[in-house]
Structure 1
Amino acid sequence: MINLENPKKFRALVNQAHQVATSVFRPVSRKYDRSEHDYPVELDMLASIMDGMNDGTPGVGAGAGKLKQETGPKREGVQNGTNMSTVLSLAELCWGDVGLSLTLPRQGLGNAAIAAVADDEQFARFGHKWAAMAITEPGFGSDSAAVRTTAVRDGDEYIINGEKIYVTSGERADCVVVWASVDRSLGRAAIKSFIVEKGTPGMEVVRLEKKLGIKASDTAAITFTDCRIPASNLLGDPEVNVEKGFAGVMQTFDNTRPVVAAMAIGVAKASIDRTRELLKKLKVKTDYRTPYKLASQLEAKLYRYEAEWEAARLLTLKAAWMADNGMPNSKEASMSKAKAGRTANEITLGCVEMLGMLGYGEDEMLEKWSRDSKILDIFEGTQQIQQLIVARRLLGKSSAELK
């Protein structure tokens, strides 16, 4: 049975993450929001410290990395491992700043993809590199099965051709996990993920996108033109299994969706905390002993936000806990992402509305958090896609049967 309290062994890590959010992220948050595409140099030393934390405490990740489930003989009892530690610590970091959390060196979404499907040799080569994730293309967004980028086998190499857009940390990362098809005639079953290292001939960052939020994080468009990589850079099984279909490469999302949900939890909590502080200064008291129906409109709205936030948090912890204990969590991962993304959007924008001009101006971080939260309901699968996945799992229908 899942315990709803944070595991004791992670409390120090969570406290450290909160200190980073307070002392490192918050002081420079507005600076890099105004200076989009400037690299946050303050994070370099922090990344080294977090590497040391990871190396010194095996199985306890400090960021969005090392999310691989346990291998070898099954251990007795309930496990709380890297999935749980990651969502707990990342929620605290995003309480400080989502964009800075996304641009933390060696803690990218591509690292979670590598951890999900890399073999021991690949993890030894790429586990400590900063990895971005390249899925979306100009011709599609949410339908990941519509990948047009190709990877053609040529001896001991693959030749990659195509274009990827909206690649988080695409310019800064050491390597990019690229989704490509090895045989487009076989459909989604032929989609594989490949690691392309920065500087590989044929790979080019063609532009950086200007965005609504998370401006501290670079978002790149990348082209691949006859880009050759070693065949050993293919993640997972090189054979195309039509019966298994898309399941192998989609395993990545079972790891990354709770991670994105944790980000949403963090920024939503930041908005609730700050709104409560400002309402107190305005002499609007919150008294939890007062029945909901007798509370003021502002109080009632804040109470509802807190309840929605708690529901999103528990769904996220459940998805992470299931992964740590070797349980299939595709449905729960999508549920957590859908709930947390939507809840964060509602809470952050609602807090701006509750406080009027006080929340709308740049003197407060609330307006920034409302902009930052929007992407958390979009990337790693939109709200609509998550609802489709959950419906398919609940009804036992395939994607062809339930579109």
Structure 2
Amino acid sequence: MINLENPKKFQGLVDMTRQVSTEMFRPISRKYDRAEHTYPKELDTLRALLEGMNEGDPSGGVSASGGRSNKQQTGNVNGGNISTVLSVAEACWGDTSFVLTMPGQGLGNAAIAAVADDEQMARFGDKWASMAITEPHFGSDSAAVKTTAILDEETGEYVLNGTKIFVTSGERCDVVVVWASVDPSLGRAAIKSFIVPRDNPGLELVRLEHKLGIRGSDTAQFALVDCRIPKENLLGTPEVEVKKGFAGVMQTFDNTRPMVAAMAVGVAKASLERTFELLKEAGVEIDYDKPAHLQIGAAAELLRLESDYEAFRLLTLEAAWMADNRKPNSVNASMAKAKAGRGATEIALKCVELCGAAGYGEDELLEKWARDAKILDIFEGTQQIQLLIIARNLLGKSSAELK
């Protein structure tokens, strides 16, 4: 049974991350929101600090990479996934874009942690890995990948060709985890993930995107042109199992979707706390001992938003806890991501509304949080895709039966 309180052993981690958010992220948040595509050099100092801490405790720092569950552990486990969502939520209380551009903590690291073998972990476990899935002709339908990876038997290398868009931290990372098909005639079952070094001459940076929010994080488009990588850079098995589909590469999302939900938890928490402070300064008191309908409108609305926040915070912790305890969490991860992404967007926008001119101006970070929140309802699978995954599971339908 999941305990609804944060595990006490991670309280130090939560406190440390809040300190980082307060003293480092918040003070420079607006600076890099305005200076889009400029790398936040302050994060290098944080990376050095975290590397020093992680030498003694692998779960001891702000992380965006997800955790590996220990197969040998028994009983209730609060491990890497729980520590990740707790630290990510506190870090996004400071600034979401900095979490996405944290050196060594890209979304591709979750794919490596979930699928890589020991040899690959030794080579790439400490690299900053971004994730390249989306292509110009599709968004959430990951099975529509057209990028190819054809094995050259003579050299023992895969040759990748295709175009990838919306690659988070694509310019700054060390390696890119690329989704590609080893045989397009076999459909989605042939989709595999490959680790491509960022300096590979066949991986060409086309452009960096200008965005509504998370401007402190770069978002890149790449062209893969006869991009050659060793066959040992394939994540998972090279065999194509048609009956199994592409469940192997999709396993990555069971780790990353709770993490994105945790980002939403952090943004929502920041918005609620600041709105509470601003309403109090304006003379609006929230009485937690009195029913919402007996309080003034602004107080009642804030109470409603706080209850919604608590719901998706607990869903996020549940999905992460299930991953730590090796329980199938695909549906729970989708529930957490769908509820948190939608909820955080609504909360951030409502908080801007409740605070009026203060919420809309650049003197406060509320308007920035509202812009940052929207992406959390979109990437790693839109809310609509999450609801489709949940519906298929509840109704016992396949992807072909329920589209």
Normalising by the residue count of structure 1, what TM-score does the alignment of the two structures yield? Answer: 0.98
Q: Distance in 2 between matches of 1:385 and 1:70?
A: 30
SS in 2 for 1:364: coil
Per the alignment, residue 326 of structure 1 pairs with: 326
The answer to whether the 8 Å contact 1:109/1:132 transfers is yes
Q: 1:99 aligns with which of 97, 100, 105?
A: 97
The answer to whether the 8 Å contact 1:338/1:386 transfers is yes
The answer to whether the 8 Å contact 1:60/1:81 transfers is no
Q: Distance in 2 between matches of 1:275 and 1:68?
A: 37
* Cα-to-partner distance string for 1:118-140 (whole Å, 9 max, x where unaligned): 00110111010000000000000
4+ long deviations beyond 2 Å: 52-55, 58-62
* Cα-to-partner distance string for 1:104-152 (whole Å, 9 max, x where unaligned): 1001111011101000110111010000000000000010000000000
Per the alignment, residue 295 of structure 2 pairs with: 295
Q: Does 1:128 align with 2:156?
A: no
Q: Percent of aligned positions with the same letter in both sequences?
A: 68
Q: 1:154 aligns with which of 146, 152, 156?
A: 152
Normalising by the residue count of structure 2, what TM-score does the alignment of the two structures yield? Answer: 0.98
SS in 2 for 1:56: coil
AA at the equivalent of 2:276: R
Per the alignment, residue 112 of structure 1 pairs with: 110
AA at the equivalent of 1:184: P
AA at the equivalent of 2:338: A
Per the alignment, residue 356 of structure 1 pairs with: 356
Per the alignment, residue 398 of structure 1 pairs with: 398
| CA displacement at 1:363 relative to structure 2 | 0.6
AA at the equivalent of 1:172: R
Q: Distance in 2 between matches of 1:234 and 1:61?
A: 28
Q: Does 1:261 align with 2:258?
A: no
* Equivalent residues in 2 for 1:124-273, closer than 5 Å: 124-155=122-153, 156-273=156-273
Q: Distance in 2 between matches of 1:81 and 1:55?
A: 17
The answer to whether the 8 Å contact 2:261/2:337 transfers is yes
The answer to whether the 8 Å contact 1:152/1:182 transfers is yes
Per the alignment, residue 76 of structure 2 pairs with: 78
The answer to whether the 8 Å contact 2:268/2:347 transfers is yes
| CA displacement at 1:58 relative to structure 2 | 3.3
The answer to whether the 8 Å contact 1:60/1:82 transfers is no
With 327-336 and 57-66 compared, the bigger mean Cα shift is at 57-66
The answer to whether the 8 Å contact 2:66/2:256 transfers is no
Per the alignment, residue 33 of structure 2 pairs with: 33
**Number of equivalenced pairs:** 401
| CA displacement at 1:59 relative to structure 2 | 4.9
The answer to whether the 8 Å contact 2:62/2:91 transfers is no
The answer to whether the 8 Å contact 1:361/1:367 transfers is yes
SS in 2 for 1:271: helix
AA at the equivalent of 1:321: W
The answer to whether the 8 Å contact 1:265/1:309 transfers is yes
Q: Does 1:315 align with 2:315?
A: yes
SS in 2 for 1:254: helix
Q: Distance in 1 between matches of 2:208 and 2:74?
A: 48
AA at the equivalent of 2:370: S
AA at the equivalent of 1:114: I
* Cα-to-partner distance string for 1:29-55 (whole Å, 9 max, x where unaligned): 000000000010000010111122222
AA at the equivalent of 1:52: G
AA at the equivalent of 2:56: G
AA at the equivalent of 1:311: A
AA at the equivalent of 2:201: P
Q: Distance in 1 between matches of 2:52 and 2:395?
A: 45
RMSD over aligned CA atoms reads 0.9
| CA displacement at 1:61 relative to structure 2 | 5.5
Q: Distance in 2 between matches of 1:169 and 1:98?
A: 13
SS in 1 for 2:158: strand
The answer to whether the 8 Å contact 2:258/2:316 transfers is yes
Per the alignment, residue 372 of structure 2 pairs with: 372
Structure 1: tracts of 5 or more residues without a match: none
The answer to whether the 8 Å contact 2:177/2:194 transfers is yes
Q: Distance in 2 between matches of 1:5 and 1:292?
A: 25
| CA displacement at 1:2 relative to structure 2 | 0.7
* Cα-to-partner distance string for 1:381-401 (whole Å, 9 max, x where unaligned): 001000000011111111011
AA at the equivalent of 1:189: A
